[in-house]
Amino acid sequence: MAIEHVEPGTVPLAAIPGGVVELRDARSGSSRQVQLHPFQIGQTQITWAIWSALSSDAQPPDSLMNTPAHPVTWLDAVRWCNRASSAAGFDPAYRLRDREVIWDVSSNGFRLPTEAEWEWACRAGTRTPAYGALADIAWTVADDVTGPQEVARKAANGFGLFDMIGNVWEWCWDYADTARYGDYRSLRGGGWADPEWSCRASVRRGSAPDAVLEDVGFRVARGPVGEAHDDAAQGWSAEGDRRRADVRGPLPMGWTPLSG
């Protein structure tokens, strides 16, 4: 499957069916099953061409316009999602106040996928570590490239999504671990410089929402998945974030639980 030419600023989306995905947490050794509503997700990572249509930042050379926009912070990604929603006539998904971001799960606007949405979309019905041989589907350290490559040059998964593994890591909505890493947000998918063990559907990484990381970009999701004022959707819940951050007793070295 190939991506047809799209105008700058247009986000090509794929319809993802609902279903059940199992998420594992390596630190706690736990797993949970998440029931997902249908949603839409970008067929590719957001490219410089799509990003630049709604950003006043300096324009990259034409030769890079079909590569993933990077480095992009988590906060920049959610701000871009709101701009894209407004430009398309959708309701913005986020309310922002400094570093605080509130997701309106009833919004029809662009947003970051939850981790459950991301993994379900990545696996596309498969149960193996990757949805195909890495050489066929992903840009990784084995390709010996020096940066992100043009999107959609390797094979898509069963949902018609490209580069879900490799090329650049992708921001998700969820906190990485509110007990250990405070307000760090989750990253999925692996990047062009990562080895095989780091390029799997289940691998997760986290970083600060304002961190500038050369191998990080994002893809968007879209679609209402709850009622207005709900604080839970698609495997995420605010109550769960608070519960995991409620660490009693002495803290292990380096842990910084989320406060507030």
CATH of the domain at 172: 3.90.1580.10
Q: Give residue 3's pLDDT.
A: 54
How does pLDDT run across 52-65, given as a tens digit for each residue?
998 877 678 888 99
The domain tally of the chain equals 1
* Residue 249 in domain: no
* Residue 2 in domain: no
* Residue 260 in domain: no
How does pLDDT run across 186-225, given as a tens digit for each residue?
999 999 999 999 999 999 999 999 999 999 999 999 999 9
Give the residue with greater pLDDT, 142 vs 26: 142
Give the 3-state DSSP-derived string for the chain, with helices as H, strands as E and coil as C: CCCCCCCCCCCCEEEECCEEEEEEECCCCEEEEEEECCEEEECCCCEHHHHHCCCCCCCCCHHHCCCECCCCCHHHHHHHHHHHHHHHCCCCCEEEECCEEEECCCCCCEECCCHHHHHHHHHCCCCCCCCCCHHHHCCCHHHCCCCCCCCCCCCCCCCCCCCCCCCCEEEEEEECCCCCCCCCEEEECCCCCCCHHHCCCCCEEEECCCCCCCCEECCCEECCCCCCCCCEECCEEHHHHHHHHCCCCCCCCCCCCCCC
* Residue 237 in domain: no
Q: What is the percent of the chain with per-residue pLDDT over 70, rounded to a whole number?
A: 96
Is residue 5 scored above 50 in pLDDT? no
Structural domain range at position 207: 13-224
Tell me the whole-structure pTM to 2 decimals. Answer: 0.95
How does pLDDT run across 45-99, given as a tens digit for each residue?
999 999 999 887 767 888 899 999 999 999 999 999 999 999 999 999 999 998 8
Q: Give residue 63's pLDDT.
A: 87
* Residue 127 in domain: yes
